[in-house]
């Protein structure tokens, strides 16, 4: 069974939750053999979710099950406000992501240039320190696009394992799941998040996984899942996690 747990139906606020719009996400999923989708809006757009509509669609949908998740940034010092947002709704799962380093939105094209003025190893360290803080905060179920910092193609001088291994060990201790995210293939880095050698290290540590496309449009649901699933299988995975009301379950892929 396949499930796409990283979908932004509202994108960056430009789309509305209408029956017709959500149906397009379900139709793409059905066409690509995906049995379950999870809508996971960014916290700042979570008010755009029409919960009643999704409940209605879920009760009627035959082919594709719909879950409601949330992608919430980890920002040190804002844990309590983040917790309030997370607890305000009956989410099926919470994806924790790092998109900002000290207020720098490093994944936004307008701010990419700042990489040229930073020491790359320091930037990687700052990023993975934040991912570690996110894991240790206990707020989240799933680590989103774990090595997002590579998206423009900047590589550290130090081996990537020196940044990643401590984070993976903390993920293991926290009992969290890591998403395998195909969106990196659409970015200049042209790689999955996380990279395949990291997926192998995750399997060796017995860290469970979800699958996500980071779709911002119906056409992107399940995009490149063939590549994603093959990478998971090469690492040794034959199961993915699903979530209902923040309780994990395991299904075969």
Can you give the binding site for Zn ion, defined by CB under 5 A?
71, 97, 214
Exposure of 176 in the CB half-sphere (CA atoms within 13 A):
27
| Closest distance of CB 144 from Zn ion, Å | 5
When the beta carbons of 102 and 203 are compared against Zn ion, the nearer one is: 102
Cis ω before 194 (30° cut-off from 0): yes
Q: With respect to Zn ion, which residue has the nearer C-beta, 44 or 119?
A: 44
SS3 4: strand
Total residue count of the chain as it appears in this document: 253
Where b means 16+ CB within 10 Å and e means fewer, 85-102 reads bbeeeebbbbbbbbbbbe
Residue 212 C-beta: closest distance to Zn ion, Å: 8
| Residue 104 Cβ vs Zn ion, minimum distance, rounded to whole Å | 15
CB-based contacts of 39: which residues, under 8 Å, 6+ apart?
Answer: 7, 8, 9, 22, 25, 49, 54, 66, 67, 68, 69
Q: What does the alpha-carbon distance between residue 222 and residue 240 come to, in Å, rounded to a whole number?
A: 14
CB of 60 to Zn ion, least distance (A): 26
Q: Which is nearer to Zn ion, 4 or 71 (CB)?
A: 71
User: What is the Cα–Cα distance from 48 to 51, expressed in whole angstroms?
Assistant: 9
Give min distance, CB of 238 to Zn ion, in A. Answer: 26
Q: Which is nearer to Zn ion, 71 or 223 (CB)?
A: 71
- Taking the complex as a whole, how short is the minimal distance between the CB of residue 214 and Zn ion, in angstroms? 5
Rank residues 69 and 156 by Cβ distance to Zn ion and give the closer one: 69
Determine if residue 64 is left, alpha or beta; phi over 0 gives left, psi from -120 to 50 gives alpha, anything else beta.
beta
Chain residue whose CB lies nearest Zn ion: 97
Nearer to Zn ion, 162 or 183 (CB): 183
Distance of alpha carbon 56 from alpha carbon 68, whole angstroms:
13
């Amino acid at each position: 069974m396949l499930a796409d747990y990283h979908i932004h139906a509202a994108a960056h606020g430009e789309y509305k939750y209408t029956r017709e719009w959500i149906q397009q996400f379900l139709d793409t999923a059905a066409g690509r053999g995906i049995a379950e989708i999870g809508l996971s809006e960014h916290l700042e757009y979570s008010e755009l979710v029409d919960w009643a509509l999704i409940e209605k669609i879920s009760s009627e949908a035959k082919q594709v099950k719909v879950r409601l998740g949330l992608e919430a940034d980890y920002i040190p010092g804002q844990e309590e406000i983040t917790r309030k947002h997370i607890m305000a709704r009956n989410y099926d799962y919470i994806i924790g992501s790092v998109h900002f380093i000290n207020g720098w939105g490093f994944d936004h094209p307008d701010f990419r240039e700042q990489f040229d003025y930073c020491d790359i190893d320091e930037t990687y360290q700052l990023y993975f320190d934040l991912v570690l803080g996110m894991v240790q905060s206990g707020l989240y179920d799933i680590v989103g696009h774990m090595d997002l910092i590579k998206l423009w193609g900047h590589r550290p001088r130090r081996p990537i394992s020196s940044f990643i291994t401590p984070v993976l060990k903390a993920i293991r201790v926290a009992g969290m799941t890591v998403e395998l995210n195909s969106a990196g293939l659409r970015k200049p880095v042209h790689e999955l998040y996380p990279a395949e050698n990291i997926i192998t290290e995750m399997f060796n540590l017995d860290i469970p996984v979800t699958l996500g496309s980071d779709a911002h449009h119906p056409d992107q649901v399940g995009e490149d899942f063939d590549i994603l699933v093959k990478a998971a299988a090469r690492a040794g995975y034959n199961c993915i996690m699903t979530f209902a009301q923040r309780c994990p379950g395991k299904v075969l892929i």
